[in-house]
Amino acid sequence: MKNEDVPQDLKHLNTFTKELIYATKSDGSYNTLLSSGWNVKYSALELVWGDIYETLRDIKEQVNKDEVSPILFLMKWRLMDIQTLSSYTGFWRWTIKRHFKPNVYKKLSDKILLRYANSFQISLEELKNININDFHF
């Protein structure tokens, strides 16, 4: 991409982020420029975040109906998957899936919950007293 072609669509991402772009000068050498974004990227991000919020709303409803534990919601809230959460907590993936069950979650010890709390960067008390309805998106 040439220096003059680096996108600078100011209306979308400019207020909170800049992206480093490699571009070519007129002599053919490479340099870096900051881009304030472009409409295509903004549209793609908007679509992805819409999907994430929809998933979170569905899980929030399941937690409120006592169909799944808050562990699943917090995992998705932190944009993790089971493999990532497994690597943070040290629990096997099948163990985490088991902890998604409300009846199993309610019996977890503080020691186990603390590992989850640390992974989600919240306190043990916040995890134990979590109110999913306080999350707005």
Name the E strands within 1-137: 19-24, 30-35
**In which residue are the tokens 């199993």 written?**
104
pLDDT tens readout for residues 69-96: 999 999 999 999 999 999 999 999 999 9
The Cα 91–Cα 89 span in angstroms is 5
What's the pTM? 0.76
Task: Provide CATH code, domain 47-134.
Answer: 1.10.260
Could you please report the per-residue DSSP string of 70-109? Answer: HHHHHHHHTT--HHHHHHHH---HHHHHHHTSHHHHTT--
Q: Closest Cα to residue 80, out of 58, 62, 96? A: 96
**Residues composing the chain:** 137
Instruction: List the domain boundaries for the chain.
Output: 3-37, 47-134
In the prediction, which pLDDT does 12 show? 58
Q: What is the mean pLDDT of residues 43-67?
A: 94
pLDDT tens readout for residues 1-38: 787 777 677 665 556 677 788 888 889 899 888 887 77
In the prediction, which pLDDT does 59 show? 98
